[in-house]
Amino acid sequence: MSEATGAAKIAPGDNSTLAFDVERARADFPILGQEVHGRPLVYLDSAASAQKPRQVIDAMSHAYETCYANVNRGVHRMSQLTTDAFEGGREKVAQFLNAGSADEIVFTRNATEAFNLIASSFGRAHLGAGDEVVISELEHHANIVPWQLVREQLGIVLRVAPIDDAGNFLLEEFEALLGPRTKLVALTHVSNALGTVVPVKQVIDLAHGRNIPVLLDGCQATPHFAVDVRALDVDFYIFTGHKVYGPTGIGALYGKKDLLNALPPYQGGGDMIASVSFEKTTFKDAPHRFEAGTPPIVEVIGLSAAIDYIAALGQENIAAHESGLRTYAEERLARVPGVRLVGTAREKASIVSFVMDNAHPHDIGTIVDRAGVAVRTGHHCAQPLMQRLDLAATARASFGLYNTRGEVETLAEALESVSEIFG
């Protein structure tokens, strides 16, 4: 594991040298057999949402067809079977992150709800006027807007850690922001717009040296390399199911057990209570105190299947495959006339953002779509980052375990067509 980033150190490699069979993996994804505009689908938008393998689809269908019921409520067999599968999913997520206990895993509807949960609950418990939360210029809106809402409610101060023009996180400048009023550091692990891998272990060590807890956004980290929350010693860690080849509608929040149990509930309702009277309500311990109402039952089962799928392929194999793809893509796209890569940090995940001379990113996306290539265009829910880079938008190719060098070549050829059109 990289001491700085919390990611395994994998050298870029050629597909043929890996223990990972990309063609065999592709066969598990039914959607990849489609054509778009008469051309084979080249899906390069996994950072927005990854496609789903048959194993995930089948697990969710099986749950609906054979054992669906509400969880943690019924004594009948269907409820017991589904509860076992649901809570087994919590154990699976704990293993995926190497958490100390399944009780440190809270299920939410998505990562955004998890950020709002911490902002609301941690904010009420620990923040007051003048207290500071440190974020960075790399953040997704999900780790900006909830803190702005807390700022409006409580009068906190948001401090923003800078990056350089290449997208590198500036550790010394970050450290200078930490002060006596800093109550939380909330940073992305991997930038969704640039692919920058933040040196999170060093961040955590600096913050903990001042008794400041750390929250990490792991949405773009968990699909690409193994994350060990205990080795990092991170206090809170968030990721979402649909980016790790699981379903939408499910997110996961890891929190150290003592910290979670010290926070007030985020929402009130069924299943998070110990007892209710008209005079007083008492609440369960974490994680259930944060899971009001019927949870995303079958989505958890789908997420569990996705984690099994990733584990079977091997996270180191996936990381090496994607690292090789990114390196090849950066070299190949740099040779396309008019292309300028955006985000060339020293440590990167498999995300390649770029702009082209005279062509708006939306035009780029529309033209390459005619070649069957799906890329993301726009501000990527990171408008402050775009403003920092003096850009309105970029085009973004993001790679998953099912992508190939041939697909990179298809993208490059499509961009050469864009270059010819806009000259």
Question: Cα(13)–Cα(412) distance, rounded to whole angstroms?
Answer: 20
Average pLDDT over residues 267-294: 91
pLDDT bucket at 301, cuts 50 / 70 / 90: very high
Other CB atoms within a 10 A radius of the CB of residue 176 amount to 12
Q: Is residue 357 predicted with pLDDT exceeding 50?
A: yes
Separation of alpha carbons 74 and 253, rounded Å: 26
318-344 average pLDDT score: 97
Per-residue DSSP letters for 336-384?
A: STTEEEE---SSB-SEEEEEETTB-HHHHHHHHHTTTEE-EEE-TT-HH
In the numeric block, the tokens 């060098």 are attached to 405
pLDDT at residue 273 in the model: 84
Q: Where are the alpha helices (DSSP H) in 255-341?
A: 257-261, 297-313, 315-333
Per-residue pLDDT for 202 more than 50? yes
Kindly tell me if the per-residue pLDDT of 292 is higher than 80.
yes
Find out whether 45 and 375 touch, Cβ atoms under 8 Å.
yes
**Pair 382, 391: CB distance under 8 Å:** no
HSE, CB side, 13 Å, CA atoms: give it for residue 228.
13
CA-to-CA distance for 109 and 122, rounded, in angstroms? 19
174, HSE (Cβ side, Cα atoms, 13 Å): 26
pLDDT at residue number 94: 98
Q: Which domains are seen in the chain, by residue range?
A: 15-45+314-422 (3.90.1150.10), 56-311 (3.40.640.10)
Q: By C-alpha distance, which of 249, 239, 252, 293 is closest to 107?
A: 252
- Closest alpha carbon to 110 in 257, 261, 295: 295
What are phi and psi for residue 364, nearest 5 degrees? Answer: -55, -50
Mean pLDDT of 127-156: 98
Confidence of residue 271 (pLDDT cuts 50, 70, 90): confident
Q: Residue 337: is its pLDDT beyond 80?
A: yes
Q: Of the listed 69, 171, 381, 392, which one is catalytic?
A: 381
| Secondary structure letter of residue 397 according to DSSP | E
Question: CB of 232 within 8 A of CB of 33?
Answer: no
Quick one: pLDDT band at residue 203, thresholds 50, 70, 90?
very high
As a whole number, mean pLDDT of residues 31-38 equals: 97
Instruction: Please state, for a pLDDT cut of 90, what percent of the chain lies above it.
Output: 91
pLDDT bin (cut points 50, 70, 90) of residue 14 is: very low
Query: Is 219 labeled as catalytic in the residue annotation?
Result: no
User: Is 390 exposed, middle or buried (CB count within 10 Å of its CB: 0-12, 13-18, 19+)?
Assistant: exposed
Q: At what angle do helices 405-422 and 361-369 cross, to 10 degrees?
A: 120
Q: Strands 251-255, 105-108: parallel, antiparallel or unpaired by DSSP? A: antiparallel
**Model pTM?**
0.94
With contact defined as beta carbons under 8 Å apart, do 342 and 389 qualify?
A: yes
- Alpha carbon 267 to its chain's center: 23
- Sheet of 394-398: strand order equals 339-342, 351-356, 394-398, 376-378
Q: 381: exposed, middle or buried (C-beta count within 10 Å: 0-12, 13-18, 19+)?
A: middle
Q: Is the per-residue pLDDT at 17 higher than 70?
A: no
3-state secondary structure of 239: strand
pLDDT in tens, 83-101: 999 999 999 999 999 999 9
Q: Residue 320 corresponds to which tokens in the numbers above?
A: 């090496």
DSSP 284: P
**pLDDT exceeds 70 at position 18:** no
pLDDT at 5 over 80: no
Is the confidence at residue 314, as pLDDT, over 80? yes
Q: Which of 159-163, 195-199, 267-271 has the lowest mean pLDDT?
A: 267-271
Looking at every residue in the chain, the average pLDDT score rounds to: 94
Q: What is the pLDDT of residues 211-228, one digit of tens each?
A: 999 999 999 999 999 999
pLDDT at 34 over 50: yes
- Give the strand pairing for 273-276 and 251-255: unpaired
User: Mean pLDDT lowest for which of 74-83, 143-152, 314-323, 324-333?
Assistant: 74-83
Q: Quick one: pLDDT at residue 13?
A: 35
For residue 75, pLDDT beyond 50 = yes
